[in-house]
Amino acid sequence: MKFLNPLILSGLAVAVAAPALSAEVNIYSYRQPELVQPLFDEFTRETGIGVNVVFLKKGLIEKLQAEGRRSPADLVLTVDISRLQNIVDAGVTQPVDSAVLKANIPAEYRAADDQWFGLTARARVVYASKERVKDGEITTYEDLASDKWQGRICTRSGTNSYNLALTSAMIVHHGEAATKDWLLGLKSNLARRPQGNDRAQVKAIFAGECDIAIGNNYYMKKMLAKPEQRPWADAVRIVFPVFEGGGTHMNLAGVALTKAAPHKADAIKLMEWLSDTKAQEIYAEQNGEYPLKPGSKPSALVASWGEFNRDTIPLTEVAKLRPVSLRLVEEVNFDE
Ligand code: FE
């Protein structure tokens, strides 16, 4: 799949094999083919509804806007609450009023106005050196600002979406002033200027540059799968910090129905199918994240990293606070 031109509809093979397929759903996806194709293959097998996916690296909103009412796309798939909210704010989606989606997806993982729905969630965890960090040494996000971590923490840019969402969640829990102090404390504990992606921080732990790093949980799965990155993964264990008075910060991979949606009924059928246990577990297995429907389980690998309590603040709130978080990160010159 990787080598397909992104404009080639990946459902083509299905359509050729089964020319009787008339029903279909078209998707614009920021998620890579290997993560979502197993889902759509199973959906087509069960329902006979074809799924065509256009994989994009950027420009999804512009594409939908340019196509307007004639857009062939029914659904958009992406990650990160801010990206989902951007798509909604651009006016290219429509709400879905579905009792199935509401029953399957906890309220904090879907938009209050039904414009987007989470499908799986990723935890923003701490990667801790197996050698240099004892069990129980870090248990909260607030603790990242404590003096004992002086010169021991690595992180990517404070303006990165994952970190902005974490900062926004901190504001929801403790307010703006306390969050600014937290950012200052965290900054003063950094072993080096914020740089690189989440995996680069784990590499830095492996290299001895720092002892703990902030990162999304699924990168552990990705590192374990790459021989050259496996030693980085082996140097750390995952810790699930919580907010004082809350749980572990979650972000999401989600879906929204486009405003144009030429196959609206089947698209909603697919959305509902994606929220049910089987699809939840297939997707979570592929992406190393956590399913959202109560009772559905993460993969054995992901489960092996431990159990934890998810934070339950609505991600709608997190999305709203992004501009405030960005301002605070700039006020403290976090990346300097
Ligand atoms: Fe990521």
Each residue's pLDDT tens digit, 223-244:
999 999 999 999 999 999 999 9
Cα separation, 55 vs 302, whole angstroms: 26
Place of tokens 């080598």: 3
pLDDT for the residue 22: 75
User: 40 CA distance to ligand 1 centroid (A)?
Assistant: 21
Q: In angstroms, what is the span from residue 147 Cα to ligand 1's centroid?
A: 29
Say what the pLDDT of residue 14 is: 42
Q: Give distance in angstroms: CA of 161 to centre of ligand 1.
A: 10
Residue 79 CA, ligand 1 centroid: distance in Å: 8
State whether residue 321 is helix, strand or coil: coil
Q: Which residues of the chain have pLDDT under 50?
A: 1-20
Q: Interhelix angle for 264-274 vs 277-287, to 10°?
A: 70
Ligand 1 center to 16 CA (angstroms): 34
Question: What are the structural domains of the chain?
Answer: 2-121+250-299 (3.40.190.10), 122-248+309-331 (3.40.190.10)
> What is the distance in A from the centroid of ligand 1 to the CA of 46?
30
How many angstroms does the Cα of residue 325 sit away from the middle of ligand 1? 19
The rounded Å distance from CA 22 to ligand 1 centre is 35
- 44 CA distance to ligand 1 middle (Å): 28
Ligand 1: centre distance to CA 216 (Å) = 7
Position 21 scores a pLDDT of 54
Residue 225 burial class via C-beta count within 10 angstroms: exposed 0-12, middle 13-18, buried 19 and up: exposed
Put simply, whether the predicted model's pTM sits higher than 0.85 gets the answer yes
Residues 6+ apart with CB under 8 A from 209: 154, 191, 192
CA of 69 to the centre of ligand 1 (A): 31
Q: How far is the CA of 210 from the centre of ligand 1 (A)?
A: 21
**How many angstroms does the Cα of residue 197 sit away from the middle of ligand 1?**
8
Per-residue confidence (pLDDT) for residue 100, from 0 to 100: 98
In a 13 Å sphere around the CA of 47, the CA atoms on its Cβ side amount to 21
Give the max Cα distance, the chain.
66
Distance (angstroms) between ligand 1 centre and the Cα of 253 equals 10
Taking only the tens place, the pLDDT of each residue in 146-162 is: 999 999 999 999 999 99
